[in-house]
Amino acid sequence: MRTALVTGASSGIGEAAARRLAEDGWRLLLVARRGERLEAMARTLPGASWLAIDLVEEDAPVRVATWVKGETGSLELLVNNAGASWRAAFGDPDGGFDNVRRTLALNFAAPVRLTEALLPTLRRSAPSAIVNVASVAGRIARPGSGAYSASKFALVGWSEALAGEERSHGVHVGVVLPGFVATEGFPHNGLRARAATRWLVSSPERVAEAIVDTGPGGRTERYVPRRFALVPALRLLAPRLWWRVSQRTGG
């Protein structure tokens, strides 16, 4: 049986990804901070195991790797999904370097450190895959989200380099770039209420399908929804227009 580890698995995209992978017969190793919620979810998935841990803690990668070794010893899929955003302009009292640092610590450093700890197991289990859940914000940036975009730009760039490095080891690396996703913390009710903007908002289940495409499916990257691939293209081909649009919609 193939084994997948999903971070941020207690809700939203992580939960949807775990349930989708379980449908395909994967054994799930679930990681998140909220132990009670994670345990309750694991009980609904056949053979799932869970570990409550904060991935920014210094010893978190070693603890997760030790746990994986004790649970199964093999790992065919790593889904780096855990992340967060604290929206603020850089010049705001709560938006300066401390905000950038904590966002990078969770959204970039944590998946890099976890991948480093699990890479030997992924190589031994090859063919295997890593899916890094980034964001459209990893291709374009808007006012008020500089720290988040910085973390996702870094994750996308590192992922692209890692993909080339690990190909010879049999480890595929894919990136998922969601746009707006309706979750309990970010329902996006305003966008969903208007017919003209409803298409902008995806569900965690649609992102889960993209994770399957870029992990077991071998895709290099997937935007969710797919039409969001046009946004970075607009930024590249019509920078002045994009600048005007982003200034009006940001902040």
* Enzyme catalytic residues: 148
Least Cα distance to 133 among 208, 37, 216 occurs for 208
Contact criterion met (CB below 8 Å) for 143 and 247: yes
CA-to-CA distance for 144 and 48, rounded, in angstroms?
38
3-state secondary structure of 143: coil
- Give me the residue label for tokens 């913390």: 185
Radius of gyration of the chain (CA): 18
Structure tokens at 86: 């604290």
Strand partners, 224: 178
- Give me the residue label for tokens 């790992």: 75
- Cis geometry, peptide bond prior to residue 225 (ω within 30 degrees of 0): yes
Least Cα distance to 121 among 61, 163, 164, 81 occurs for 61
Structure tokens at 61: 């990668």
Helix (H) or strand (E) holding 67: helix 60-71
